[in-house]
Amino acid sequence: EPEVTQTPSHQVTQMGQEVILRCVPISNHLYFYWYRQILGQKVEFLVSFYNNEISEKSEIFDDQFSVERPDGSNFTLKIRSTKLEDSAMYFCASREGLAGGSDTQYFGPGTRLTVL
Amino acid sequence: AQTVTQSQPEMSVQEAETVTLSCTYDTSENNYYLFWYKQPPSRQMILVIRQEAYKQQNATENRFSVNFQKAAKSFSLKISDSQLGDTAMYFCAFMIRGGYQKVTFGIGTKLQVIP
């Protein structure tokens, strides 16, 4: 069964450094998302992406964050200058989005980001 | 804005018994989906079951079933014949149908299955 994959599974970085989290959505999906979950808290929406542009973003998704689909398969989240409070689990999700198709979002296994 | 409320932070159940996790939500939308996601200690988010709001029939997936009460905005998950592998955080979630809609999650219920 196709699945969303994410790399790396765990990323440790120093405060102020840039990080790029990578995701490979399910191949025929058209909508892509990033969510984050700070330890012990609920999963929060960051951004949605469709047709090579951001369709919606939350107030968390400030100028330090950016997303990109550099080729036909990868979907990346970049944090330009990491802060301690960016430490969280980051989930990528994708959705088929075709007319009559499934609206379910399928989540990747997550990348645990630790900012020291 | 949509909200999802899970009022049971932690629950436990004996192996092979049945347990019900509660969820309520608030929305002014009429066309939406509700989900239960499971998050085991590995922290991967796994879809357990999905319900379309326009369907009156409650969704079932093997040992998992829901009680969807649209008027009451209630969406509980019943796990029958609980197994040790069911130990996980369970998140109730909501999504408006169509467009690029995001999923809104509840705070989660930690379920422990006791041998």
Distance CA A62, CA B73 (A): 33
| A9, A35, A42, A106: best to mutate for the B interface, most B CBs within 10 A | A42
Q: Is A42 on the interface with B (CB under 8 A)?
A: yes
Please write the tens of the pLDDT for every residue from B34-73: 999 999 887 788 999 999 999 989 999 999 999 999 999 9
Please write the tens of the pLDDT for every residue from B4-37: 999 999 999 999 999 999 999 999 988 999 999 9
CB contact under 8 A, A104 and B44: no
Q: Is B96 on the interface with A (CB under 8 A)?
A: no
CB contact under 8 A, B44 and A42: no
What are the tokens at A83?
């802060």
pLDDT of residue B59: 95
Distance CA A86, CA B32 (A): 31
Domains of chain A: residue spans and CATH: 5-115 (2.60.40.10)
pLDDT of residue A40: 84
| B54, B92, B94, B100: best to mutate for the A interface, most A CBs within 10 A | B100
CATH value at residue B23? 2.60.40.10
Cβ pair A105, A2 in contact under 8 A = no
Q: Is A114 on the interface with B (CB under 8 A)?
A: no
pLDDT of residue A60: 93
pLDDT in tens, chain A (116 residues): 778 999 999 999 999 999 999 999 998 898 999 999 998 888 999 999 998 999 999 999 999 999 999 887 899 999 999 999 999 999 999 988 776 666 788 999 999 999 99
Q: Which helix (H) or strand (E) holds B56?
A: none
CB contact under 8 A, A42 and B33: no
pLDDT of residue A101: 66
Residues sharing a CB contact under 8 Å with residue B53, sequence separation 6 or more, in sequence order = B30, B31, B32, B33, B34, B68, B70, B97
Q: Which helix (H) or strand (E) holds B40?
A: none
CB contact under 8 A, B102 and A56: yes
Domains in chain B, number: 1
Burial class (CB in 10 A: 0-12, 13-18, 19+), B113: buried
The CA distances from residue A76 to A51, A59, A111, B36, B111, in Å, are 15, 19, 12, 26, 33
What are the tokens at B111?
């379920």
pLDDT of residue A1: 72
Cβ within 8 Å of A, B 56-95: 91, 95
Please write the tens of the pLDDT for every residue from B67-113: 999 999 999 999 999 999 999 999 999 998 876 789 999 999 999 99
Domain enclosing residue B24, as ranges: 3-114
Return the SS3 of B84. helix
Cβ pair B25, B5 in contact under 8 A = yes
The closest of A116, A47, A105 to A76, measured between CA atoms, is A47
Cβ pair B95, B102 in contact under 8 A = yes
Nearest neighbour of B100 by CB, restricted to A43, A50, A104: A50
Three-state DSSP string of A74-99: CEEEEECCCCHHHCEEEEEEEECCCC
pLDDT of residue A2: 77
Residue type for position A104: T
